[in-house]
Amino acid sequence: MTYLARARELTGLINQRVKQYRKRQEQPAVTRAGGDVDELKDLASLKANGSITGAEYETMKQRIITRATAP
């Protein structure tokens, strides 16, 4: 896969995650609880396939956990 093709693929993944994040923000917190687990699983998958770095994974994971435990 060329550098440009990989960049396009990553851009697509990022755009998809942004859309999912925005959609979840519009939903009531009660329905997000299961979504947070799914989001963490998706995040782990992105890390496992090399789409994101370990540092990016930890940063995003912490945001999800913080959001899930916020009042």
> For residues 12 and 28, which has the higher predicted lDDT (pLDDT)?
12
State the pLDDT at residue 54.
Answer: 92
DSSP code for 23: H
Structural tokens at position 44: 């782990």
- The label of the residue with tokens 């782990």 reads 44
d(CA 71, CA 67): 9
Number of domains in the chain: 1
N-term to C-term CA, the chain: 44
State the pLDDT at residue 59.
Answer: 93
Q: What is the mean pLDDT of residues 26-52?
A: 79
To the nearest whole percent, how much of the chain has pLDDT over 70?
85
Nearest CA to 43 out of 33, 53, 34, 29 is that of 53
Helix (H) or strand (E) run with residue 51 in it? none
Q: Which domain range does residue 47 map to? A: 3-25+32-69
Q: Is the confidence at residue 68, as pLDDT, over 60?
A: yes
